[in-house]
A and B are shown apart, each in its own frame.
Chain A
Amino acid sequence: MAALKPKEYRRNFERLGNIREIVFGIQDGVLTTAGVLAGLSGAVSVRSQVILAALASTIAGALSMGAGAYLGTHAETAVLRSELDRVRRESEEQPYVVQDSLIESLGKEGLTREAAYRVVKLLSSSKDVLFNTAEEKLYGLSGATFGNAMVDGFLMGVAFLIGALVPLVPFMLISSVHAGLVAGIATTAVTLFLVGYIFEGRFSNERRPALAGLRFLAIALSAAIIGYVAGVLIAPIGAVPVG
């Protein structure tokens, strides 16, 4: 494989920054829809009504999650940019504070103080270069820090939709409610395992990706089971006598 150029590395890092939305969306879509199918299958006797309710939940969930990711990233980026502008104004008033902080930072990373001074002196020949470097090295900000609200929202919504289809499609294809539910839960478990296996195991070059898959499956299912048990426990509180 040809070596990636720095600009491609950067794009690659920025793309990897969206893994959170994809994993979150798939996991939430899978579990929410499996939960809806399981819950409604016991309560509603007509299969088509269960499917309709699950479809409605899927569409609402995808839109809600997509909008939530968009709004969350948009707000976060606005706040970060505002804070960054404030820090930039302060830095321009006291550039020597930034310069000396950069010397300290480079020194901690292994450069001698003298070498760090010379590097910072060179960087200081351009105000923008100095402050951009400070933003990355001192404040931990980078291009990947500022998410793209549209991309985040789209990925989250689509990931939720794909995740939701995992238990829903077998349920729709199998005419028996019970068998469809079992197939939906099985595909849910397999999908959760695969998400962990691929994203945590393969992408991060973990030695035992299967373990990563099992860990992801266990955490996701634990959350679902705890949520189910909590629902069963609090159900009597909401039971209001009729008449």
Chain B
Amino acid sequence: MLKPGDAAPPFDLPCALEDKLGRMSLASITSDLVVLFFYPRDFSFICPTEVIGFHKARAAFAAESTTIVGVSVDDAETHRRWARELGGLAYPLLADEGGKVARAFGVLDEAEKVALRATFILDPKRIILYAVASPVNVGRSVGETLRVVRALRSGKLCPADWEPGTNVEPTDAKY
């Protein structure tokens, strides 16, 4: 699995976005940060809360100039139907059929040929700032991802449990 400081592998994949099919490349994303989250499969009972969670928090991420991108090994048409099933998604689901991109990020389960539940946050130069993978029975926290995005964009040294508005002196014991 790639780690903070590694360059994100470029990609150009088919995608489903707002009930349409298209393509999306990493190079085409213009926002400051990118939240790239991998999940195992569409039409699953394990991932939908996260997928919906990112959709519900889209405005908060947009306010931080952050693009959300979901990736799984399903094809774009399946993504489109899955997004419909979930009530519509305002961010793209990328079709990484064959798992090439997941493998490049080091998050492909080679036995099952599906992506792990991994989240990466990329900086403006598309260097990985943050990388985390979750086990199958623990859902990701969209709120935590947003908190990390805000912390990264604050440009400050952020202590544990930092939240926007927290003012901490460098000598604070929390560091």
Contacts from A to B (Cβ < 8 Å): 94-97, 99-100, 103, 113-114, 116-117, 120, 124
Q: In the complex, what's the smallest C-beta–C-beta distance from B81 to chain A, in angstroms?
A: 6
Contact among A96, A113, A114, A116 for B46, CB-based, below 8 A:
A96
Report Cα–Cα, A30/B137, bound state, in Å: 56
**Binary CB contact string for chain B from 31 to 73 against chain A (1 if under 8 A, 0 otherwise):** 0000000000111111000000000000000000000000000
B137 to A94, Cβ gap below 8 A?
Answer: yes
Residue contact A113 to B45, C-beta cutoff 8 Å: no
**Which bracket fits the contact residues of B?**
10 to 19
Bound-complex Cα distance A120 to B44 (A): 10
Cβ-closest 9 pairs across A and B: A117-B43, A99-B45, A96-B45, A96-B46, A113-B43, A114-B43, A100-B45, A100-B44, A100-B46
Residues of B within 8 A of A113 (CB): 41-43, 74, 78
Total inter-chain residue pairs, C-beta < 8 Å: 31
CB of B168 within 8 A of chain A? no
Q: Which residues of chain A have C-beta atoms less than 8 A from B137's C-beta?
A: 94, 97
8 A Cβ contacts from B131-147 to A: 136-137
In the assembled complex, the CB of B49 is this many whole angstroms from the nearest CB of chain A, namely 9
Bound together, the chains give a CA A97 to CA B137 distance in angstroms of 8
Residues of B within 8 Å of A95, CB to CB, are 45
Cβ distance B17 to chain A, nearest Cβ, rounded Å: 19
CA distance A94 to B46 in the complex (A): 10
